[in-house]
Amino acid sequence: MIRRVSFIRRRSDLSPQEFFSHWTGRHAEIIRQLPGLRGLRFNRVDRCVPPEAQWDGVGETWFDSIADADRAFATDPFREILIEDRAKFIGEAHSCYIEEPLAYLPDGVSQR
């Protein structure tokens, strides 16, 4: 399983609440329809280190492989719908793919 992790900054004309409402509302509805999607998570950023990073959210989409993720985001009509929708609330975004083959936990901590 891989995750596509996106660091997202809201458009400057939107309040944090307006941004989060659209991201977890209309945008989430679109993402949930992506072919091959295994899971998703929307995280509101409380603060950044360093502070000048100023990310508003970190989103995760889960797929079986990077190829599956690339295919899902390139599939029409989703590709065009996402391009149009992102312009409504995203000022800037950066994404990366991560793989979690094994978790290392401190002694005495169980995985949830």
How does pLDDT run across 35-75, given as a tens digit for each residue? Answer: 999 999 999 999 989 888 899 999 999 999 999 999 999 99
Residue 60 belongs to a domain with what CATH number?
3.30.70.100
Q: What is the pLDDT of residues 78-110, one digit of tens each?
A: 999 999 999 999 999 999 999 876 666 777 776
- Asked if the structure places residue 8 within a domain, the reply is yes
- Asked if the structure places residue 27 within a domain, the reply is yes
Question: Could you tell me the CA-to-CA distances from 42 to 5, 28, 59, 89, 106 in Å, in that order?
Answer: 10, 9, 5, 14, 26
Domain count, the chain: 1
- Note down the domain range covering 63: 2-99
- Asked if the structure places residue 64 within a domain, the reply is yes
- Asked if the structure places residue 110 within a domain, the reply is no
Amino acid at 40: L
Whole-number Å distance between alpha carbons of 4 and 90 = 17
What pLDDT score was predicted for residue 100? Answer: 75
What pLDDT score was predicted for residue 52? Answer: 86
- Asked if the structure places residue 111 within a domain, the reply is no
The pTM score is: 0.84
- Asked if the structure places residue 109 within a domain, the reply is no
Q: Which of 14, 95, 106 is nearest to 60 (CA)?
A: 95
Q: What is the pLDDT of residues 26-36, one digit of tens each?
A: 999 999 999 99
What pLDDT score was predicted for residue 107? Answer: 78
CB 59 within 8 A of CB 40: yes
Q: Which helix (H) or strand (E) holds 68?
A: helix 66-74
What pLDDT score was predicted for residue 103? Answer: 64
In this structure, the number of other CB atoms found within 10 A of the CB of residue 45 comes to 15
